[in-house]
Structure 1
Amino acid sequence: MTNIGPSIISGDLGVSPGSAVTGFAPGNVINGTQHVTDAVAAKAQLGVTAAYKDAFSRSPFTSVPVDLTGLSLGPGVYRGGSLGLSGTVTLDAYGNPDAVFVFQAASTLVTSTASVVSLIGDASACNVYWQIGSSATLGTASTFVGTVMALTSISAGTNATVQGRLLARKGAVTLDTNTISAPNCTSRSEAEPAVRAPAGRARQDPPRPEAARRRRAPGPAPARPALPCQPCPRRGRRLDPRDRQPFDHLVTDHCEQQPAAENLHRKHDGSAEPHSRPPALTGSNLLPTTAAGLAALALGGLLMRLGRRSTHATARTRAGRRPELQPR
């Protein structure tokens, strides 16, 4: 591992096998540790080998030209003999942060000065892999993204920046005033598990808490609050306040303007029920109702006259007079 200038590596630096690490300082390792021929470095070397072979075997693939400049690529596997970049290549994840991009180069990878690998559509540097059959060279002031796994060596030009990792299996990694930052590779699915329904099935809501699923224990229904009995507003006047029954049907628009909560009266057990509404006077029942009322008036008048005659006869008998018999 060789460095020239004030390079900054954000993450771990490791060498295995071997122990040659030069240029730190002026190079600086932050947010990580140097592992030189230790168990961590040896395990990392095994991991690089496994990842390299996995990327090499990925298929199906899409063949791409030597220069990737101007291409806008979606998730997938892309293969070429030698890969190069003289301008900008765009990797579009189409809104899927877990989308994976794998590039397979049979020989070399060479990027030019100020070349750019651009990520859009929630694409992540954690999911971009470059499997290189020999060596990789990153141009001066270039902006590169992804994990480079080279069979032999990797060289980064002056002021080149890498958002990812530089992993050489059998050769050296050479830096020159570079910035290497390892991305945070915690996937969204691990950070925020998403509930996805299987194909053909509707998504189900998460289970409700135990308290929400608890049903009400069987038993009598809770008592309703007693509502005050208020008289309904009536339109019109009773013909005879001493005799309610015969003339209730002559009161029109009974409780039509009364709110539903007030149009109630209490029974003997304290519960509330609606007032009974008298039948409306329509053309079909107006004549019988009026005839019944007139008959009641006539019968009442006859009873009152007979009562007055009986009262006069009783008064005469008490005065010692014999009541005169009236001819029928």
Structure 2
Amino acid sequence: MKGTHFSACRLALLALITAQYAFGLAHPPIEKRALPVLMGSAATFGAIAASSLSSSGATAITVDCGTCPGTSITGFPPGTASGAKSAGGTIACNAEADCLTAYNNAAGLTPTTALGVSDLGGLTLPPGIYSFPTSWATLSTTLTLNGTADPNGQFIFQITTTYSTSSGSQVLLINGAQACNLYFKIGSSATIISASALQGNYLAYTSITVGEGSSNQGTLCALNGAISLIDNALTAQTSCST
């Protein structure tokens, strides 16, 4: 009887450990992260999307672009892509994976500053990890980022749901701030309205729509959806460490 009871206890303990392990895999705990956040191989991409990448008009991408696991890239030509164009290829899949790593790292950071507003327009900010009073954020005018002469200073904006810009809005980098050190972690989708002049890495959990005539120096990442472009200019970011 004792042996039977012992075996039953061992089986019950094994079942409990197995269940806890499976639960941990399905729902990994949020880990606290430390700077820097890095883009890895995605740093050479102007746009990388999970499902599809489409363009209308004379979009010009002077760096790599691609999709993974999707394979739909349309609009080139009349758009131009002077770097690699990978539809579901290895380099695109590696870039998408590195975007996900950057997204998770940015999401796991503890905020250093809780902004009192959800509109970044008109603000001048030093390096830091920023949260918002609402789940969404916008850029109505000009956001000025002051690098404070620190070439390694990072700017991380943790946005729970959507991010949008207004027509003619811009991101201005001063005192050594670099586009490669700027991250917008966007919990759903980003909508960039026409004639926005942006900088940095935009890590959207779902999709990114970019309006006519807008530009970005950095990487647009859509982790689970599409990127839609129209007459846009996407250029390489400066050479931070990857």
TM-score > 0.5 by shorter chain: yes
Q: Secondary structure, in 3 states, of the residue corresponding to 2:73?
A: coil
Residue 165 in structure 1 maps to residue 219 in structure 2: yes
TM-score normalised by the chain length of structure 2: 0.75
CA displacement, residues 75-110 of structure 1 (integer Å, 9 cap, x when unaligned): 000112211011111100111111100001000110
> 1:157-306 to 2 correspondence within 5 Å?
157-187=211-241
Greater share of residues in strand? 2
Q: Which 4+ stretches in 1 moved above 2 angstroms?
A: none
Correspondent of 2:74 among 22, 41, 47: 22
Q: CA RMSD in A?
A: 1.2
> 1:73-88 to 2 correspondence within 5 Å?
73-80=125-132, 81-88=135-142
CA distance in 2, matches of 1:60, 1:71: 17
CA distance in 2, matches of 1:170, 1:6: 26
CA distance in 2, matches of 1:153, 1:137: 9
Q: Which amino acid aligns with 1:124?
A: Q
CA displacement, residues 194-221 of structure 1 (integer Å, 9 cap, x when unaligned): xxxxxxxxxxxxxxxxxxxxxxxxxxxx
The Cα of 1:172 is off from its aligned counterpart by: 0.3
Residue 149 in structure 1 maps to residue 178 in structure 2: no
Residue 68 in structure 1 maps to residue 120 in structure 2: yes
CA distance in 2, matches of 1:51, 1:160: 24
Q: Secondary structure, in 3 states, of the residue corresponding to 1:110?
A: strand
Residue 42 in structure 1 maps to residue 96 in structure 2: no
User: 8 Å contact 2:181–2:240 — kept in the other structure?
Assistant: no
Q: Secondary structure, in 3 states, of the residue corresponding to 2:218?
A: strand
Q: Which amino acid aligns with 1:83?
A: A
CA distance in 2, matches of 1:186, 1:169: 22
Q: Which amino acid aligns with 2:161?
A: S
Q: Which amino acid aligns with 1:164?
A: G
TM-score normalised by the chain length of structure 1: 0.56
Q: Which runs of 5+ in 1 are unaligned?
A: 191-328
Q: Which runs of 5+ in 2 are unaligned?
A: 1-52
User: 8 Å contact 2:111–2:131 — kept in the other structure?
Assistant: no
CA distance in 2, matches of 1:178, 1:108: 21
CA displacement, residues 214-264 of structure 1 (integer Å, 9 cap, x when unaligned): xxxxxxxxxxxxxxxxxxxxxxxxxxxxxxxxxxxxxxxxxxxxxxxxxxx
The Cα of 1:11 is off from its aligned counterpart by: 0.7
Correspondent of 2:180 among 113, 126, 132: 126
Q: Secondary structure, in 3 states, of the residue corresponding to 2:198?
A: strand
CA displacement, residues 97-141 of structure 1 (integer Å, 9 cap, x when unaligned): 111000010001100000011110110001000000000011110
Partner of 2:63: 11
Partner of 1:276: none
Partner of 2:18: none
